[in-house]
Amino acid sequence: MKGKENNKTEKKKRRVEKGNIKSTDAWRKAEWDYADILSRNMMPSLFGNPLTEQDMIEWFNDIIKDCPEFYPALFDIGGRILKEGNEKLGKKYLDEGLQSIEKYGNKEDLITTYYDICEFLEKQFQFEMAIEYYARLEKIEKNKAKVYDCLGYCYVYLDDFDKAFQIQKKALELCDTNNKYFSNMGWIELLRGNIDNAKKMLDRSLKLDPHDEFTQGNMKMLTIMQKNKDLKNWEKALLRKKDYEYLDRLEDEDDMDEYQKQIIIDNYGKLDAFKFDLLRNSKYTQRKKYDIWFTTGYILDFIEKICDDTYFSYDDIDTVEFEFKSIMHRFIIKTGDIDEEIFNDVYTSLFEFYGFLSKHKVISGYKSLKDEMLGSKEGLLDKMEQYDEIRHNDEYTREEKEELREKLFGSDGFWQRL
């Protein structure tokens, strides 16, 4: 009898473990606490200052102590720790979260979560880790063509175009009705410089879906490369010279919508080419590469927004040099949480981006820009520190803070009011 009672107990325990964990008091409390933490950050006006990243991690860890199976908190901690650069510990939390879903969830949720994690890792430039998770996903996902398509993307950004081609080929062998797989293969072939095969793939994609915007964009790049034999691959095409004659004609015809569109296309092209180059740079960790990439896009977008009545081209190094102090003044004013780390990230990002364009002879004058930036750095840092004290000094009224800001930054101090 004793043995039978133990068997019944074990069966009951397995039923709880497999399907009813979300009905336990521990899980319900974890859900409540988790929602409370997220609400605090979403509505700081009601709950006070937003929690810091470290605060969030500590709170989520408290949840896990009481309910180790609560995978939303495990994934949240893992993602935040990965963003901080601790890949090993971040991955540990992600793995524990996946194990919890596998144990208490269902297969569909597990597959969806694998895709979500891999997409997150790709955005963080963690392509090797993403490949590891895709390899696990392949074992449980019926749609293996989809997994191969995702893997091909990762190998592209690991600078292994041939491997990407082989993986993408497997996706097409399993599924020849998905236009995106053909479009992505066309893109890979453009990267490899195989123009003829790229055209075949893109034609197949458009036949399946004539309105797909990604395929249309890839086809436009193909046409550009066909017209200019010097543009032997995708990256060279991204760094092609502007068609100033066409831009002048648009300006004369007052077709500023199309003019702006062409500037945006060129800007994104420069950034995309920079991304490939940055990912090859062995000087930086993957985390630092992501920081540089993010900050580059952020500061260039910021410059574009403060350019009055003009369209800022990212390769306009003269504007960046001549307006650098003003740009940084406004950036300091705008960025409430700016510190020396953020300040230095801006410097590093601009050095890397314009150094890259200079290396590929897209621009000239990089040394002059660098000299201007370095010569201004100490004074700008000093102003940043002074303004940080003013900004956080509650003894000043709002009007007094504005007066001090305008005294510190001159005419740029008025910008915050505009």
Average pLDDT over residues 281-302: 95
The DSSP line for 75-139 is HHHHHHHHHHT-HHHHHHHHHHHHHHHHHHS-HHHHHHHHHHHHHHHHHTT-HHHHHHHHHHHHT
Residue 5 lies in a domain: no
Domain limits at 184? 176-238
Token pair in block for residue 114? 């694998």
Q: Indicate whether 229 and 279 sit together in one domain.
A: no
Residue 107 lies in a domain: no
Domain boundary among 219, 238, 257: 238
Average pLDDT over residues 267-289: 95
The tally of domains found in the chain comes to 2
Residue 249 lies in a domain: no
pLDDT digits (tens, 9 = 90+) for 108-165: 999 999 999 999 999 999 999 999 999 999 999 999 999 999 999 999 999 999 999 9
Q: What residue has token string 């831009």?
A: 247
The proportion of the chain whose per-residue pLDDT surpasses 90, expressed as a percent, equals 80
Residue 117 lies in a domain: no
Token pair in block for residue 140? 């449980």
pLDDT band at 71 (very low <50, low <70, confident <90, very high): very high
Residue 330 lies in a domain: yes
pLDDT at 183 over 60: yes
pLDDT digits (tens, 9 = 90+) for 383-418: 999 999 998 898 999 999 989 999 999 988 775 543
Given this model, what pLDDT does residue 39 score?
82
Euclidean distance between CA atoms 383 and 377, whole angstroms: 10
3 versus 237: which is more confidently predicted? 237
Domain boundary among 214, 238, 262: 238
Q: Indicate whether 354 and 408 sit together in one domain.
A: yes
Distances, alpha carbon 150 to alpha carbons 114, 206, 386, in Å: 12, 20, 48
Euclidean distance between CA atoms 329 and 384, whole angstroms: 8
CB atoms within 10 A of CB 219: 20
Q: Could you tell me which residues come within 8 angstroms of residue 384 by beta carbon, excluding any fewer than 6 positions away?
A: 332, 338, 340, 343
Q: Indicate whether 299 and 412 sit together in one domain.
A: yes
Given this model, what pLDDT does residue 404 score?
92
pLDDT band at 44 (very low <50, low <70, confident <90, very high): low
Q: Which of 5-19, 232-246, 295-309 has the lowest mean pLDDT?
A: 5-19
Given this model, what pLDDT does residue 14 score?
40
